[in-house]
Structure 1
Amino acid sequence: MNKLAFTFLLIITSAIGFSQEFQGMAVYETKTSTADMMKRVQSNPDLTPEMQKMIEERMRKAFEKTFILNFDKVASMYKEEEKLDAPGQGGGGMRMMMSVMGGGPIYKNAKNKSYAVANEFMGKEFLVKDSLPKINWQMTGESKQIGGYNCFKATAVMPAPKSDFRNFRMRDGKKDEKKEAKADEKKTNFMEDVEMPTEITVTAWYAPEIPVNQGPEKYWGLPGLILEVSDGKTIILCSKIVLNPKDKVAIKEPTAGQVVSQKEYDEIVIKKAEEMRQQWQNGSGRGNMRFPH
């Protein structure tokens, strides 16, 4: 058998292996850096060392999660691994923050170039439906092994998701004379202590041996499954892959919740977070905020 015939046979064999019935499952571990936030916590004179330690532990658990990606040749469903919360965990502001750190289950359809995210935010269910972001990946030619797969590096510059609190950066804390003069006035701007970058630089590693243009979260569009991705603050790394599992999973677009676009959902999150901040500062606690019907 000559080389050309062997190559053709290899392509045909691979195509059969990844037929329309093909399905896979990948486990991802995510970790978001909280160093800048912890510096602000540790510099707060009103917090005891015990309180700081408790906050640090809760933040660590909130920002380190495990997700499962079920995928086929066209679509995928990415959702957090279900775990029972320990007593006293995830309440109040921490629960609100966790609800927008990556959101709920994410369905992506590469053929239709669309996605749907089932989010529960402050007691209300939303279904965010929009077009998949166009990612202008730049291939670098670099490669490395991840879990036995030969992966290649690609980078892209993307707009920073406005409702994803993981992208927030604490301000540098430099003194502002105008703010010092108004120290007794109540702050009303939610973004006063944090800032959101307009863009993030993403680095991804994809495996051509798994020829699907899927990946974790809303990342997609590469000629192979994305096994690792980092935006400089959050890293998502695949720790396990099962191809053609015995137990198939139905990959269906979610339907429950009030349908909104990504822009509409971002505006709701920022507005409600601002209202919560104002109520806390006014001494009214969580308040009785309501969403419009």
Structure 2
Amino acid sequence: MKSILFKISFLAVFLLLSNKPDVQEFQGQAFYSSKSSMELGSWGARMSEAQKKQVAARLKNRLEKTYVLNFNKEESLFNEEDKLDAMSGATDSWGKNFARGEQYKNVKDNALVQNQEFYGKQFLVKDELQKFNWVMGKESKQIGKYMCFKASTIVPTTELNWYDFSWGSLRNAAPKEDGTTPEIQMTTIEAWYTPQIPVSHGPAEYWGLPGLILEVNAGNTTMLCTKIVMNPKGNLDLEAPSKGKEITKMAYQETITGKMKEMRDNRGRRRSR
């Protein structure tokens, strides 16, 4: 009798331990689409509506993107899905120089590892995760089958798009004629997260809320989750990028800014000959 009870107890403990959730077994996949509005400035004011539509068609790959986020409790891997150029049928090689690369985040270790390619040279950006001082809101809404809650914050714009470059931001960062420092441009962020998926992940740089972020509105860009697959069959790819010259976010920004200035100066010297 004691032998039978021992076997039953051993079996119960075995089943309990084998069904214990493991952080690596909890995984999911979220698909996002993003849309950005064109910012044409004073140049756009001189364009007709037909011309604006032509520009929008040519820039479709940069204004509309799709992404996939693989995640477990602690790690996530975020990557853009390749799309053909709407006009030429080719991938956007110029845009890739200033696009976000494959991005690995570890919320436990506060670690970011991101692969960046700039004119054929590979960089491996290693840094801390972006800091967000989220303000929790009371608003809620349904996204798909998930109940979501609002959170918002404000961060310096350059901290969100450190991998990007624009001549406009370069001009704005230059000291003014009176020697004063230019005002730091800020971006207001509105995020919607769901506690039904209790992870601190989100698309792109966004993270740190008590639930998966399903929607982000930041500046002129909206990013929305269109599909979620929880615990898919097989192990998802959550391996951090490993190839390229190691560099920090700030150093990478200084590198591409310096290279773009050099290209501009070389072009100016050729024209003056």
8 Å contact kept, 1:58–1:89: no
Matched, 1:224 2:211: yes
Aligned residues: 243
- The SS at the match of 1:219 is coil
Question: Distance in 1 between the 2:23 and 2:222 partners?
Answer: 31
Q: Deviations over 1:65-123 (max 9, x none)?
A: 000000001100000113345647556xxx4444323x111100001011111011111
Aligned to 1:22: 26
> What one-letter code is carried by the residue in structure 1 that aligns with 2:162?
S
Instruction: Classify 1:247/1:98 alpha carbon distance in 2 versus 1 (closer, same or farther; 3 Å).
Output: same
8 Å contact kept, 2:28–2:72: yes
Q: Deviations over 1:193-252 (max 9, x none)?
A: 999953211110000000000000111110000000111211111000000111321201
- The SS at the match of 1:76 is strand
- The SS at the match of 1:205 is strand
Q: Kindly state the Cα deviation for residue 169 of structure 1 after the two structures are TM-superposed.
A: 9.7
2:37 pairs with one of 33, 39, 43: 33
8 Å contact kept, 1:213–1:225: yes
TM-score of the superposed pair, with normalisation by structure 1: 0.72
Aligned to 1:247: 234
2:135 pairs with one of 131, 134, 138: 138
Question: Distance in 2 between the 1:134 and 1:240 partners?
Answer: 27
8 Å contact kept, 1:77–1:106: yes
Matched, 1:100 2:98: yes
8 Å contact kept, 1:228–1:237: yes
Aligned to 2:11: none
1:191 pairs with one of 171, 187, 193: 171
- The SS at the match of 1:248 is coil
Aligned to 1:175: none
Q: Deviations over 1:33-67 (max 9, x none)?
A: 11x227625637xxx99986553322122121000
Instruction: Classify 1:77/1:220 alpha carbon distance in 2 versus 1 (closer, same or farther; 3 Å).
Output: same
Matched, 1:128 2:97: no
Q: What are structure 2's unaligned runs of at least 5 residues?
A: 1-18, 175-181
* Percent identity between the two aligned chains: 40
Instruction: Classify 1:58/1:276 alpha carbon distance in 2 versus 1 (closer, same or farther; 3 Å).
Output: farther
The equivalences for 1:76-225 within 5 A come to 76-85=76-85, 87=88, 89=90, 95-101=93-99, 103-160=100-157, 161=159, 163-165=162-164, 190-191=170-171, 198-225=185-212
Question: Distance in 1 between the 2:203 and 2:183 partners?
Answer: 22
> RMSD of the TM alignment (CA)?
3.2
Question: Distance in 1 between the 2:233 and 2:203 partners?
Answer: 22
TM-score of the superposed pair, with normalisation by structure 2: 0.77
Aligned to 1:69: 69
Higher mean alpha-carbon deviation, 19-28 vs 275-284, is at: 275-284
